[in-house]
Amino acid sequence: MTTRPDVLHLALPPDDDAPGADAAPPVVLNLSDNNSPADVMDVLSLRPFASGEQPWSRSTRLEHVKPDAPLRPDGARLLRVAKEKAKESVLADGEGWTLLTNRWSNGTAYVAVSAVSAELAESVLQESVKDATEPPQTDETNVEMGFWHMGSHGPVRTERAISADAWADIRRNYTAPVAAALDDVMKLTREQVAGRLLLLHGPPGTGKTTALRALARSWSEWCQADCVLDPEALFGTPSYLMEVAVGDDEDENRRWRLLILEDCDELIRGEAKQSTGQGLSRLLNLTDGMLGQGRDVLVAITTNEDLTRLHPAVVRPGRCLAQIEVGPLTRDEARGWLGGEAPSGDIGPEGATLAELAALRKGEKRPETRDAPTSATGFYL
């Protein structure tokens, strides 16, 4: 037998000085012992709006928030402050307005303002967020990449600068046919895009993700790279997919977007229709269907599956921008890669993968990457 949490009912009358206060009903707030102080502040911030005292609301979400940004106007009166492990919430007000700020340790924030007029709500919001953000600095060694995931309140995108080598510096990591195929992809421009799906398949440790990071750098002037951390949720939730696919239509200088889906074996293998439901259909719709029409979106997928095991609809002619099997270097290429830095006696007649060569260079035992399970290996090589 479980005990129902205690529920606290708060009936808050409207402000006596507010216009129409006599006709406005009280606002009832229901709180339980499962609510945190920050949850209470979220509810309290809605009272002026719900009661009609401040019927105009403006809000925004921010990324790359400066640690010292106050996120409130000068002279604001602090009403509540709640700090959790990774979140700080502030409730403040001023003449005719109320402001709620939720700030997270990852540099994101949510700012909401209610006010007695639309102009006041907009001005308070703009003053609160002015000079509050600072995009990550990128240089010749890294590139800005977005990361999508489904949060507790819907899809969330955060940005960070990740390391990305220039393609010319890592080209030797790939066997000659693969390097030639990637040459063609790296030099593409937005006008030359034909096909919306880029498929990299092959054993673990062959450098598929390293190539995608270099691609994000090569295309950075015309294409924004986003890594989707939960592709199964993306294609299983229409609202999530719509937000990622539609993007920001208000950006007049909108770049193309490259969605990177790591280790999507279950989504695109031959039996995907039965195992993942509508996921495969929605992927195909995004790359070559109604959803993709008018959307400048490319999808890059890495998989450890053999091409013959993939769903024929994924690999049919005309759908893919490129299908590249990223395999090991030949024995001679592997020896050249090592040079005189490490013994090459462990290189067999079948050659070696990038991961195996990196281990040999460090003096470690050669890992058997090609015999390893084909489960998700992460955004690393």
pLDDT higher at 246 or 197: 197
Give the DSSP H/E element, type plus range, for residue 99. strand 97-104
Give the highest mean pLDDT range of 70-79, 145-154, 234-243.
70-79
Residue 363 burial (CB < 10 Å; 0-12/13-18/19+)? exposed
CA–CA dist 186, 176 (Å, integer)? 15
* Helix axes 208-218 and 176-186, enclosed angle (nearest 10): 30
CA–CA dist 83, 79 (Å, integer)? 14
Residue 90 lies in a domain: yes
Residue 298 lies in a domain: yes
Domains held by the chain: number = 2
Q: The dihedral of CA 281, 286, 287, 290: what is its sign?
A: positive
Name the pairing type of β-strands 7-12 and 97-104.
unpaired
Same domain, 90 and 51: yes
Write out pLDDT tens, residues 137-154. Answer: 666 678 889 999 998 778
Listed range (182-186, 215-219, 366-370) with the worst mean pLDDT: 366-370
Among 129, 156, 181, identify where a domain stops.
129
Write out pLDDT tens, residues 155-178. Answer: 888 888 888 999 999 999 999 999
pLDDT higher at 272 or 189: 189
Same domain, 115 and 147: no
Q: The dihedral of CA 316, 369, 213, 264: what is its sign?
A: positive
The enclosing domain of 301 has a CATH number of: 3.40.50.300
Same domain, 110 and 162: no
In the predicted model, what is the mean pLDDT of residues 82-95?
A: 93
Write out pLDDT tens, residues 249-289. Answer: 555 567 899 999 988 777 776 554 544 557 777 887 787 76
CA–CA dist 12, 50 (Å, integer)? 11
Band of residue 121 on the pLDDT scale cut at 50, 70, 90: very high
Q: Domain limits at 247?
A: 142-325
322: left (phi over 0), alpha (psi -120 to 50) or beta: beta
Give pLDDT, residue 258.
Answer: 94
Give the contacts of 299 (CB within 8 A, at least 6 positions apart): 196, 197, 198, 258, 259, 261, 283, 286, 287
Same domain, 187 and 78: no
Give pLDDT, residue 207.
Answer: 93
Same domain, 102 and 239: no
Give the contacts of 280 (CB within 8 A, at least 6 positions apart): 235, 267, 268, 272, 273, 311, 313, 314
pLDDT higher at 18 or 134: 134
Same domain, 83 and 191: no
Average pLDDT, the chain: 81
